[in-house]
Amino acid sequence: MARFTTALYDLGLYPVFSEVMKARMPDNTGPFAYSIYLCSGVLTWGLFTEMLDKGQSVFINNANLIKKLSFPKICLPIIVTLSAVLNFAIIFSLFLIFIIVTGNFPGWLFFSVIPVLLLQILFAGGLGMILGVMNVFFRDVGQLVGVALQFWFWFTPIVYVLNSLPAWAKNLLLYNPMTRVMQSYQSIFAYHQAPNWYSLWPVLALAIIFCVIGFRMFRKHAAEKVDEL
């Protein structure tokens, strides 16, 4: 409920930010341009952070369940992912209502969100699995993840436009995989353009690598996790 209330509050503030940042979006001067730009990034970033936050603590938070019951432990990360996606769907539906009411729905391009969203879930799920296993053996991982996400947020073009940065900063941020993901959402909703699918291939490769590593770590340390918990 807290996330739901926060989202409503944020959605109310975005039109204010749009007036402040309008000059930063010369290629889109619509009255809600920055509001939509910001929403498309903040809401999807919220899904990313929730998946990582719940993923890194999933085994520790369910320690008693893991030790007392015999069941496929891989169900826990899956349940966490589904829970985060459900929370996101509720909040994101408010955003969709907003863009429909204001006449900014991207039409058929909206369906481009699906592969981008699946890619983000795969990326966050794999990384969350790695962090979850690590956190069982190194309990400081959870605190480090929280700090890292704060920095990661500001090194991702969510509240600012990537093209407003100097060339060296823009090139540097392109090494951030979430930059490409956020740009895809922003292209769809703020600019009504298809994402640059080619730019997402490195993110897909990284997501697959994370998933493979995470699953192998999960299986390799299955017995040790129970002892550590």
Boundaries of every domain in the chain: 30-228
Q: Band the pLDDT of 73: cuts 50, 70, 90.
A: confident
Residue 88 confidence (pLDDT): 96
Q: At what angle do helices 75-101 and 33-61 cross, to 10 degrees?
A: 160
What angle (nearest 5°) sits at the alpha carbon of residue 201, between those of residues 197 and 206? Answer: 145
Residue 228 confidence (pLDDT): 63
Residue 1 confidence (pLDDT): 46
* Helices vs strands, H then E, count in the chain: 10, 0
Q: Which residues of 161-190 are buried (b: 16+ CB within 10 A; e: fewer)?
A: bbeeeeeeeeeebeeebbbbbbbbbbbbbb
Q: Band the pLDDT of 92: cuts 50, 70, 90.
A: very high
Is the pLDDT score of 21 beyond 60?
no
pTM, two decimal places: 0.86
Across all residues in the chain, what is the average pLDDT? 85
Indicate the DSSP class of residue 158. S
Is the pLDDT score of 206 beyond 50?
yes
Which tens digit of pLDDT belongs to each residue from 115-168? 999 999 999 999 999 999 998 888 888 889 989 999 999 999 998 888 888 899
Residue 4 confidence (pLDDT): 45
Is the pLDDT score of 14 beyond 60?
no
